[in-house]
């Protein structure tokens, strides 16, 4: 069989649920991401619960015609540097255990783990995730209040490198999951990934560190510049550096696509959607003919499966065919055995 197409960036999230341990905060219920979740799970006038979210996501994943496998992402709680958990600072929590179970029940779902490096039991948790076939570890430095240069991260990086478990780190602005301390927004800048890269960690920079609102995202222009700088140095340092192209769809990110395709080697891109974050039918598109462009936009409006829609739009942007399957080789290199 040829390599599977993998969407390596899909979020899970649910209101407080005792059995799974999932929860989101009152602050999360003020975000656009929350309303997107209600809309997509048809829960605007009903109570949203974990069963509706799960049913919806599994249906989307199982009915996709383009995407063979999807990585569902866990999200760990906030820990302080003493290793103390802070539920009151955490705005979205999806336990590893819950997603490991979900992935074990469905062969099209892959387990995207999340372990906070300040946890006192981080090694035990990471071992659990490796044993249950995690394909990556996800961080959102702003929301999880992680300083990637903190000394507590060094043994964590060593372990990730030993096992070849990729670190998928959010970069650029984060509007979906709030932070309890704005000082941590700074740590979404890819420049803080240098420590991990120097330790030999496979690092995946989410969303190519793009600003969300184009030049209006004033505070985040530097993130993209630093992202390009890292890729310029990649050969020199022999870094295992990758970029995910999730959430690239949208009129305000169109301006960056040519630059990305020109400057980053195609074998370093990983395909993803960032679903259920909404995507836009009107995105960067190589058609120079207006009617061809319009035809495509209309076709996208009628495409029902959001993963397929994202695939088609990204395809139209002109990325190489290998970006859809690049994640396969990366995930096959993971060494799950205890060391
Ligand atoms: Zn995301």
For the stretch 21-66, pLDDT in tens is 999 999 999 888 888 888 888 777 778 889 999 999 999 999 999 9
- 3-state DSSP call for residue 174? coil
Distance CA 133, CA 130 (A): 5
Report whether 205 contacts 242 (CB < 8 A).
yes
Distance CA 164, CA 63 (A): 31
Give me ligand 1 centre to Cα 204, in Å. Answer: 12
Superfamily for domain range 6-280+322-332: Metal-dependent hydrolases (3.20.20.140)
What is the CB-side half-sphere exposure of residue 136 using CA atoms within 13 A?
32
Cis preceding-peptide flag for 228 (omega within 30 of 0) = no
Give me ligand 1 centre to Cα 276, in Å. Answer: 9
pTM here is 0.92
Give me ligand 1 centre to Cα 291, in Å. Answer: 33
Distance CA 277, CA 273 (A): 8
Give me ligand 1 centre to Cα 170, in Å. Answer: 7
- 3-state DSSP call for residue 331? helix
Give me ligand 1 centre to Cα 161, in Å. Answer: 23
Please give the structure tokens belonging to residue 124.
């035990």
Segments of the chain assigned E as strands: 6-11, 23-24, 69-73, 78-79, 85-86, 92-93, 109-113, 134-139, 167-169, 203-205, 241-244, 269-270
Distance of CA 338 to the CA centre of its chain: 26
Distance CA 107, CA 61 (A): 10
The Cα angle at residue 186 between residues 253 and 249, in degrees rounded to 5 = 15
Give me ligand 1 centre to Cα 288, in Å. Answer: 31
Report whether 73 contacts 92 (CB < 8 A).
no
From 2, 107, 4, select the one nearest 324 (Cα to Cα).
4
Distance CA 135, CA 144 (A): 20
Give me ligand 1 centre to Cα 148, in Å. Answer: 18
Low-confidence ranges of the chain (pLDDT < 50): none
Burial status of residue 256 (CB atoms within 10 A of its CB: 0-12, 13-18, 19 or more): middle
Report whether 164 contacts 335 (CB < 8 A).
yes
What radius of gyration do the chain's Cα atoms show?
A: 19
- The pLDDT, as a whole number, for residue 163 is 97
Distance CA 166, CA 211 (A): 23
Give me ligand 1 centre to Cα 93, in Å. Answer: 14
Report whether 251 contacts 283 (CB < 8 A).
yes
Buried b / exposed e along 30-46 (16+ C-beta atoms within 10 A): ebebbeebbebbebeee
The tokens 């979210």 sit on which residue?
Answer: 53
The tokens 């399957």 sit on which residue?
Answer: 325
Give me ligand 1 centre to Cα 289, in Å. Answer: 33
Distance CA 36, CA 120 (A): 35
Give me ligand 1 centre to Cα 265, in Å. Answer: 22
From 219, 209, 213, 217, select the one nearest 246 (Cα to Cα).
209
Distance CA 258, CA 51 (A): 41
- The pLDDT, as a whole number, for residue 251 is 63
């Amino acid at each position: 069989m040829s390599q599977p197409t993998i969407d390596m960036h899909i979020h899970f999230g649910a209101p407080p649920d005792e059995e799974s341990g999932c929860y989101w905060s009152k602050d999360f219920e003020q975000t656009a991401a929350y309303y997107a979740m209600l809309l997509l799970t048809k829960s605007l006038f009903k109570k949203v619960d974990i069963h509706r979210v799960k049913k919806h996501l599994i249906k989307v994943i199982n009915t996709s015609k383009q995407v063979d496998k999807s990585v569902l992402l866990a999200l760990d709680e906030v820990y302080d540097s003493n290793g103390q958990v802070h539920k009151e600072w955490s705005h979205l929590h999806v336990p590893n255990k819950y997603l490991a179970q979900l992935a074990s029940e469905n062969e099209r779902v892959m387990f995207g783990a999340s372990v906070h490096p300040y946890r006192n039991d981080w090694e035990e948790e990471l071992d659990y995730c490796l044993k249950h076939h995690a394909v990556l570890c996800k961080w959102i430095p702003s929301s999880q209040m992680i300083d990637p240069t903190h000394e507590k991260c060094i043994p964590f990086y060593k372990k990730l490198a030993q096992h070849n478990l990729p670190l998928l780190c959010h970069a650029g602005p984060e509007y979906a999951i709030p932070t309890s301390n704005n000082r941590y927004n700074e740590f979404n800048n890819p420049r803080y990934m240098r420590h991990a890269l120097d330790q030999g960690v496979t690092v995946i920079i989410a969303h190519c560190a793009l600003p969300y609102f184009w030049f209006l995202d004033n505070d985040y222009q530097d993130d993209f510049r630093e992202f390009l700088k890292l890729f310029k140095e990649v050969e020199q340092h022999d870094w295992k550096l990758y970029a995910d192209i999730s959430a690239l769809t949208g009129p305000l990110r169109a301006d960056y696509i040519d630059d990305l395709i020109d400057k980053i080697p195609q074998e370093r891109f990983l395909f993803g959607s960032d679903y259920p974050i909404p995507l836009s039918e009107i995105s960067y598109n190589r058609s120079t003919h207006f009617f061809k462009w319009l035809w495509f936009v209309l076709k996208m409006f009628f495409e029902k499966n959001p993963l397929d829609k994202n695939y088609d739009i990204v395809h139209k942007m002109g990325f190489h065919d290998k970006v859809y399957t690049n994640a396969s080789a990366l995930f096959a290199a993971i060494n799950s055995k205890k060391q």
